[in-house]
Structure 1
Amino acid sequence: MKTSFYLDDIKEQLRRFAPPTHVINWRDRWRASVGALCGLLTASWSSYLIFGNGGIPLLIAPMGASAVLIFTLPTSPLAQPWSVIVGNMISAVVGVCFAQLFPAQAGVAAIAVALAVLAMFSVRSLHPPGGAIALLAVMGGPSIERLAWHYVLAPVALQSVSLIICALLYHKLQGGSYPQSSAHQINLHQTGDQAISTRLGVSDEDLDAVLARQGKIIDISRADLRKLIMQTEIQAQQRHRTRIQCSDIMSHHLITVQFETPLEQCWQLLRTHKIGSLPVISDGGTIIGMLSLIDFLKQADLDVYHDFDLRLRQMLDQARILSGSEVQVAGHIMSTNPLTAQCDSNVLELVPLFSDRGLHSIPIVDDDGKLCGMVTQSDLIGALYQMQRNQVNTSPSNP
């Protein structure tokens, strides 16, 4: 019995060393791998282009670790440009100081790494490969020793900057967001109020308080952490509440226009149907943009109310009369790349889009991207009210 207890305890301890389950799909894995390849090739090419073959090491080992962070964890605070460039450079400075003052011994290298960590903390540029940068400066052998203080600028700074430049272009081409902004969420109405999700949900102060109590470094940005919490809450609500899909509440009979629809006609549609926006669709029925009242006001340059009606009418008249005018049709002033939702999406997924993104209506599309409906704020309010009623009626206290 006692032996069995110890075996179970050993098995439980061994399970803690098992690798975590990967939730990253194969497409993103290949993207990260190709990105790391491109980044390291760019870093080595820049070294060769400036210093030739043999001037400096074309690629130092710590850059491989930096590439892994930058291309696999682009939202991590440890992988942001400031952390990569400043973290690597300040670690190189510490490493070269020790290499100049002390012999190349393991103990000296260990102290250099420890002080490099403190230096990175002091300037908020913690970057794990920086430890390897400092260690390489002390223990890198003759090829690194002869560089002396040049080691800080080339290869460290040069290759770090090259990695970042490649990452900026690569993530941009992939449709990602790099670097991550640490700024607070922008208030679309330019007032002092926070977003509704922050007012009712998790605030920066809440995150700071919890992280301070944990006393640990969290390898995730504040914005991503807040987004994960919000999406987890929505997922939990979807599990416990009656599921209502966008297709259940959307409007099916839509007023739409096409790219070549004249602005005069678009304006009349907005007025006649008393709506705030018009979906712009292609010949195949896919949505290509949204045309709203705001788009008309922006185009008419209505910064002040004075002569409001005159300038708006002049813009519409020009669009109707002047065949050579640059602004004639809906496609010229519409907002492109509109946010959309799928027909089978849970209506709860629309809440942050309406509350924090300043949207008043969201186009609903099918699997082929074709427009099939619209959901407005009032539609969502009605759905949430119905969900609350269903929950109350089915609760144990209301038989």
Structure 2
Amino acid sequence: MTFDFQHILRALGPAIPSGPWKEALRAGLGALIGLGCVGLFILSPLVDLRTGLYLIAPFGATSVLVFAVPNSPLAQPWSAVVGNMSAALVGVGVCLLVPDPALRVALAVGLAIAVMTLLRAVHPPAGAVAMTAALSPDAVQSLGVWFALAPVGVGTVLLVVLATIYARISGRHYPFRQFEDRNSHGTHDPEPAERLGLNEDDLTGILDRYRQSLNLGVEDLARLIGAAEIEAARHRTGPATADDIMSRNLVTVGPDTPLNQVADLFRQHGFTSLPVVQDGDKFLGVIFQIHLIRRAREDAFRLDRRFSAAMARLLDQNRDRPVSASEIMATAMPRALPTTPVAALLPMMSEGDCDAVPVLDRGQIVGIVTRTDLIAALARHSLSAPETPL
């Protein structure tokens, strides 16, 4: 029997990719704020220690999940709160019935895992909650069932609430998105990258079949499958670049162009986007038709008038100070080089609300790739690709 030491060493190494420093900072700062706030509340002079409120070590483990991996099924509110509290109840019960310390710890943790699994509330820190109870029989017996409410229940609920607020502030989703949640446009269709032809039951079946239901949510699986399909499509697009498919004869506007002229160009050419440039074709941004609609809608709410009146006012060329292109253009958007592969443009346009990608050369716009350009290129490629025999 031979040993492949290189394989063994790789197996003993990290199993997850390295995370960006911003995400590490976000997670660490969240845990600091969360535990800090919980500690300030619990250790406040206003809180009577006789209520049983105090910090316990498993709160640190719960913080790792809810702040660092908020998409994990193990970190969701039901898992955290019900898991920790049910484990605490198990620990209290074992303390009252089993005098031997070693047996008490093993039994408390084992039973807690079984109960959490039955309740669909598996939460790894809950094992430490049960062990904490088993190792502190005197304190737990004095508190009784109250131990599950305070500190365990109160502390966990506080962490979950703080994690929810922090996720909203820092641009993450917690609790994780459900399969039937509305998309970015406010409708119930899945996001374009998640339209797989599979329903929630199909995806749940995949997770169950591969025993991954504790590691991944249905929504996340849909996103990963969609991303994998896009990546596979990228490998089939061949060597084509943005330079091969982009629109070159561009209609552009300047930053000071009034919006009534922008609207006229949209109507005249049937475009959905117009690049904004300075002298020498220096790229500044892009105006999409939706920008006009959003600005008019905002003005209608702000001025308490009808949308049609707000749009007419927005496009009125006789205003004292007409609204210009630079005031509504988008600047934070994907950009490409002439040498950017078409494959790299696919994820740019398949997610979010990006309808066109400007192609820049040393800061100057030399073309633009719209979704129409991309669809036409993919259609040509599919027609030229050899047929696969059945």
1:271 and 2:284 are equivalent in the alignment? no
Structure-to-structure mapping, 1:257-296, within 5 angstroms: 258=255, 262-278=258-274, 285-287=283-285, 290-292=288-290, 294-295=293-294
State how far apart, in whole Å, the 2-side matches of 1:166 and 1:158 are: 12
1:224 and 2:220 are equivalent in the alignment? yes
State how far apart, in whole Å, the 2-side matches of 1:288 and 1:177 are: 29
Secondary structure of the structure 2 residue equivalent to 1:94 = helix
The number of residues matched between the two structures is 377
Q: Which amino acid aligns with 2:117?
A: F
* 12 and 363 in structure 1: CA distance in 2 versus 1, 3 angstrom threshold: closer
Q: Which amino acid aligns with 1:41?
A: G
State how far apart, in whole Å, the 2-side matches of 1:85 and 1:367 are: 54
* 174 and 314 in structure 1: CA distance in 2 versus 1, 3 angstrom threshold: closer
**What is the TM-score when the length of structure 2 is the normalising length?**
0.75
State how far apart, in whole Å, the 2-side matches of 1:314 and 1:42 are: 46
Match of residue 30 from structure 2: 35
Question: Which of residues 163, 173, 179 in structure 2 aligns to 1:167?
Answer: 163
Secondary structure of the structure 1 residue equivalent to 2:368 = strand
The answer (yes or no) to whether the contact 2:180–2:188 under 8 Å persists in 1 is: no
1:330-368 per-residue CA deviation (whole Å, 9 max, x = no partner) reads 677x586865354465434554665675x5722336699
1:202-240 per-residue CA deviation (whole Å, 9 max, x = no partner) reads 543432333333345441222222222232333344345
Match of residue 145 from structure 2: 149
Match of residue 378 from structure 2: 384
Match of residue 375 from structure 1: 369
Which sits farther off after the overlay, 181-190 or 68-77?
A: 181-190
Structure 2 unmatched runs, 5+: none
Which sits farther off after the overlay, 69-78 or 278-287?
A: 278-287
Question: Could you tell me how far 1:127 is from its partner in structure 2?
Answer: 0.9
The answer (yes or no) to whether the contact 1:58–1:155 under 8 Å persists in 2 is: yes
State how far apart, in whole Å, the 2-side matches of 1:289 and 1:54 are: 62
Match of residue 234 from structure 1: 230
The answer (yes or no) to whether the contact 1:279–1:291 under 8 Å persists in 2 is: no
* 172 and 285 in structure 1: CA distance in 2 versus 1, 3 angstrom threshold: farther
State how far apart, in whole Å, the 2-side matches of 1:390 and 1:182 are: 40
* 172 and 382 in structure 1: CA distance in 2 versus 1, 3 angstrom threshold: same
The answer (yes or no) to whether the contact 1:120–1:127 under 8 Å persists in 2 is: yes
**What is the TM-score when the length of structure 1 is the normalising length?**
0.74
Secondary structure of the structure 2 residue equivalent to 1:51 = coil
Question: Which of residues 233, 239, 243 in structure 2 aligns to 1:243?
Answer: 239
Structure-to-structure mapping, 1:131-210, within 5 angstroms: 131-184=127-180, 186=182, 197=193, 200=196, 202-210=198-206
Question: Could you tell me how far 1:78 is from its partner in structure 2?
Answer: 0.9
State how far apart, in whole Å, the 2-side matches of 1:57 and 1:68 are: 21
Structure 1 unmatched runs, 5+: 1-5, 303-309
Q: Which amino acid aligns with 1:82?
A: W
Q: Percentage identity across aligned positions? A: 31
Question: Which of residues 345, 349, 357 in structure 2 aligns to 1:363?
Answer: 357
Match of residue 255 from structure 1: 252
The answer (yes or no) to whether the contact 1:35–1:71 under 8 Å persists in 2 is: yes
The answer (yes or no) to whether the contact 1:168–1:179 under 8 Å persists in 2 is: yes
Alpha carbon RMSD of aligned pairs, Å? 4.3
Q: Which amino acid aligns with 1:38?
A: I
Question: Could you tell me how far 1:384 is from its partner in structure 2?
Answer: 0.7
